[in-house]
Amino acid sequence: GNSVTQMEGPVTLSEEAFLTINCTYTATGYPSLFWYVQYPGEGLQLLLKATKADDKGSNKGFEATYRKETTSFHLEKGSVQVSDSAVYFCALRRNNAGNMLTFGGGTRLMVKP
């Protein structure tokens, strides 16, 4: 079946540090991949997505590249801010399988001034 594995948190960084949150997946076929972000007290919001191999999704300084050969979709940001403190979820949607997403366990990021 489908599954998504993320690095366990919390990840604690100083402001302006480089961020990587690892995400690997297991799925049949060629899924679409997503990163969602959950700020404190809120629901999840789409951060970025990639729908095919070698695509790079980007938004708000965050990037992730769909790597089929390593079944990975790692999230990166060159310089984090305190306002980036949130929980980040990697997710996949298997194409031609309805509209359902499978989520990873989430990684909490804490950025200190």
Binding site for other proteins (CB under 8 A): 4, 8, 32, 34, 36, 41-46, 49, 51, 89, 93, 98-101, 103-106
| Least distance to other proteins, CB of residue 64, Å | 14
Residues facing 102 on adjacent strands: 92
> For 93, what's the count of Cα atoms within 13 Å in the CB-facing half-sphere?
15
| Least distance to other proteins, CB of residue 44, Å | 5
Name which of 17 and 51 has its Cβ closer to other proteins: 51
| Least distance to other proteins, CB of residue 42, Å | 6
Name which of 53 and 78 has its Cβ closer to other proteins: 53
Structure token pair of residue 22: 């690892």
- Residue closest to 14 by CA, chosen among 62, 68, 81, 99: 81
Longest dimension (CA), the chain: 44
Structure token pair of residue 70: 């390593």
DSSP H helices, the chain, are: none
Name which of 10 and 78 has its Cβ closer to other proteins: 10
Name which of 36 and 84 has its Cβ closer to other proteins: 36
